[in-house]
Structure 1
Amino acid sequence: MDSDTLLARITDYASRPNPYPLYAELREAGPVVWQAGGNCLIGGYHQIAALLHDPRMSADPRTRGEMTHKPPFLRLDDPEHHRLRTLTMRPFGPPHSPRRVDSMRGEIGRITEELTETFEAGRQIDLVDDFAYPLPVAVICRLLGVPHEDEPLFRAWSDAIVASADVRPDQDTTDTDKAGDQARIEMGGYLVNLAEQRRGKPGDDMLSAFANELDPALRLTQEELAETAVLLLIAGHETTVNLITNGVLTLLRQPEQQDRLRREPELLPRAVEELLRYEPPVHMRERIPHADMEVAGTRIPAGTSVILVFGSGNRDPRRFPDPDRFDPTRADNQHFGFGSGIHVCFGAPLARIEAYTALGALLPRLATAQLVQDPPPYRQNAMLRGPRHLPIQL
């Protein structure tokens, strides 16, 4: 098949259960693979790593005139990205001492226990709806200070926003983009209103911390607060849902590795890192060069949409020995599960705690569990790849 159709084939829903053969084709086609739409794909580990750390590469869609309003700081460049990221991280605690995240360990354990205590032998569950989705949503809502009864509001908003953020070549995205913008406005308005209610009477939550910042130089504007709170709520659960679900699916497919982790639970942290490499929650990101640049001898003009395919880099045999094997003892595992460079996910410590806790609680129950459907139905999103449902017979 032609390499200039690779992005269309990767994002085709039929490829969602197993995009890895296409990633191998991408790596063989060359360091830089041009697509029919004028953008290019990069799937080699070393090229991706270099570009994620290259200041000439922009994350801001306004670099090529795609967006007129200011995006959330996830899509901004320094120095504005650094300013907003620093202000957002302040409520998490001092650098290298994430006290707020550490304080959530007990809460995460309690929520996990509440969810799993209904998992009785003989019952069929949907791991996504019954566990992998409600756990991180409850955790991020506790951190932000969103009332428990309002948690269901966020599913439709999140679905619309995530759909608008997907990589979709050669499709009319007007309706999807409008729905995403409307959901972002509604969710942002709700969260800003919640923060305003805490002004002068703060609780122990992040919205209170944002609303009651005393130093004007460290205070978010209302627009920044809306964008940041929406970003935190979505990023705080979407990727973790995929990490837990992909992890359980991998372990159910590999019972010998399940058995090993039950015998050697001390391997669980390393197994989570391997899951982040082997079945990452985020498969690709877009970057746009500010100026003409060269990658592996290929000139990439300024303004080109460059798709960095993390899922391919994570399985590059030039970086990882036997990359298509899930190995919970793998050492030197510098994966792209949380990105890299200035935009590396600052919620990674929280996601790791949730994944360790979740898989540790589920492992005893998986010993006699069976997949009801394999492959399961996947989400539409090719960038944030994971099962939409994962039916399991306990």
Structure 2
Amino acid sequence: MDSETLLSRITDYANRPDPYPLYTELREAGPAVRQADGSYLVGTYHHLAALLHDPRMSADERSRTASSPSKETKDPSFLRLDDPEHHRLRRLAMRPFGPPHSPGRVNAMREEIARITTELVEALPTGRQIDIVDDFAYPLPVTVICRLLGVPREDEPLFRGWADALVASADMRPDEDTTEQDQAGNQARIDMNQYLLDLAGRRHGNPTGDMLSAFVNEPDPSLRLTPEELAATATLLLIAGHETTVNLITNGVLTLLRQPEHLNRLHGEPALLPRAVEELLRYEPPVQMRERVPLADIEVAGTTIPAGTSVILVLASGNRDPRRFHEPDRFDPTRPDNEHLAFGSGIHLCYGAPLARIEADTALGALMPRLTTARLVQDPPPYRQNAMLRGPRHVPVQW
């Protein structure tokens, strides 16, 4: 088929269960493939890695000179900003989360993550059909990220509707009218931002040991986030902190149930689980693609991409590139040299990666004994609409 339709076909919901043949077609069509809407797709590992580290590639949507298949907030978080503003906001967001200022924050969550996981697994009924997403993979990371930020437990259900609307509004749908989704996403952003600012206001002068408390009680004025920055940062952490982990856990369960030989091996050799999580990140990455914009004309393997053009970096394609990975379409939980692109690379490398790894390792380890006797009720299961944050919407399992 015409390579200029690749983006339309990748984002077509009919291809959500298995986009990987399209990624093969992308890699064969060339390192940089122009689309009918004027954007470019890049899907080869080494070119993706180079562009992720190239300072001429902007993450800021305001660098575009033309329309884009993706949409972002008008007040972007640091995820969609460039240095030096990106560095400033990311550094402030990192202070209460990780090294060097809070080196023990994530590691200290291990015990609570294990407790939450055990409670969820023990609540799953036996001899009945369950939904891995609704009954386990969603509640775990949303509970964890809400605890980290300091969201009261009784308010956790509020975030599912907001998160669904925001994720839907950020999806790539080049051939569809997304006015309704955009309006719903904008309203969800307003509601979530206001909720978080109100909650942060209650923590000012009354810290409770969580990240919101740390943000609003920072004694150094030069290290404080403005209200707008606080709302954008907290919203990003809530969305990114659970949406991707839900997909990682769910894709992991789905992959292991489809390949019982690996499931049984991991059950018998739990020490292999951390390596298996890395392989799951390569094999079925939760984030399939990201957008960048060149600040100057840039050449990719002989193709010149004009400044201001939308460039879609198909990370999931790079993770299956045979020029980088041996037998890339084979799931191998003992794979060596597994430098995947699931968390991106360069200055925008996902800072929540250590937490996601702990959650996935803990979740799959706790599920393992019961997965060995479980079976998929529907394969492929129904998927979420979003092509960028790809994962099943439900995974019905006979438990």
Taking structure 2 as the reference length, the TM-score comes to 0.97
Q: Contact conserved, 2:7 with 2:41, CA < 8 A, in 1?
A: yes
2:39 corresponding residue in structure 1: 39
| Matched ranges for 1:202-213 at <5 A | 202-213=207-218
Which sits farther off after the overlay, 118-127 or 283-292? 118-127
2:240 corresponding residue in structure 1: 235
2:347 corresponding residue in structure 1: 342
| Matched ranges for 1:346-357 at <5 A | 346-357=351-362
1:306 corresponding residue in structure 2: 311
| Matched ranges for 1:235-254 at <5 A | 235-254=240-259
Query: What do residues 113-141 of structure 1 show as CA deviations (whole Å, max 9, x unaligned)?
Result: 11000223312110000000000000000
Query: What do residues 34-82 of structure 1 show as CA deviations (whole Å, max 9, x unaligned)?
Result: 1101001011000000000000000100112667933111000000000
Shift of 1:262: 1.1
Shift of 1:97: 6.4
Q: Does 1:185 align with 2:225?
A: no
2:138 corresponding residue in structure 1: 133
Distance 1:93 1:320, change over 3 A: closer
Q: Contact conserved, 2:95 with 2:102, CA < 8 A, in 1?
A: no
How many Å separate the matches in 1 of 2:180 and 2:124? 40
Give the root-mean-square deviation of aligned CA atoms.
1.2
Aligned-partner residue type, residue 258 of structure 1: L
| Matched ranges for 1:262-281 at <5 A | 262-281=267-286
Q: Contact conserved, 2:96 with 2:102, CA < 8 A, in 1?
A: no
Aligned-partner residue type, residue 392 of structure 2: P
How many Å separate the matches in 2 of 1:10 and 1:310? 13
- What secondary structure does 1:104 align onto? helix
How many Å separate the matches in 1 of 2:48 and 2:301? 11
Q: Contact conserved, 2:127 with 2:398, CA < 8 A, in 1?
A: yes
How many Å separate the matches in 1 of 2:116 and 2:151? 15
Shift of 1:156: 0.8
Which sits farther off after the overlay, 133-142 or 56-65? 56-65
How many Å separate the matches in 2 of 1:173 and 1:54? 31
- What secondary structure does 1:353 align onto? helix
| Matched ranges for 1:319-334 at <5 A | 319-334=324-339
| Matched ranges for 1:1-394 at <5 A | 1-64=1-64, 69-95=74-100, 98-394=103-399
Segments of 5+ residues of structure 1 without an aligned counterpart are none
Aligned residues: 394
Query: What do residues 293-340 of structure 1 show as CA deviations (whole Å, max 9, x unaligned)?
Result: 111011000011000001100000000000000000001101011111
Shift of 1:168: 1.5
Q: Contact conserved, 1:144 with 1:207, CA < 8 A, in 2?
A: yes
- What secondary structure does 1:286 align onto? strand
Q: Contact conserved, 2:241 with 2:352, CA < 8 A, in 1?
A: yes
How many Å separate the matches in 2 of 1:68 and 1:135? 27
- What secondary structure does 1:109 align onto? helix
How many Å separate the matches in 2 of 1:106 and 1:349? 15
Q: Contact conserved, 1:37 with 1:170, CA < 8 A, in 2?
A: no
Aligned-partner residue type, residue 181 of structure 1: N
Q: Contact conserved, 1:62 with 1:68, CA < 8 A, in 2?
A: no
Shift of 1:170: 2.7
Aligned-partner residue type, residue 197 of structure 2: V
How many Å separate the matches in 2 of 1:86 and 1:96? 10
Taking structure 1 as the reference length, the TM-score comes to 0.98
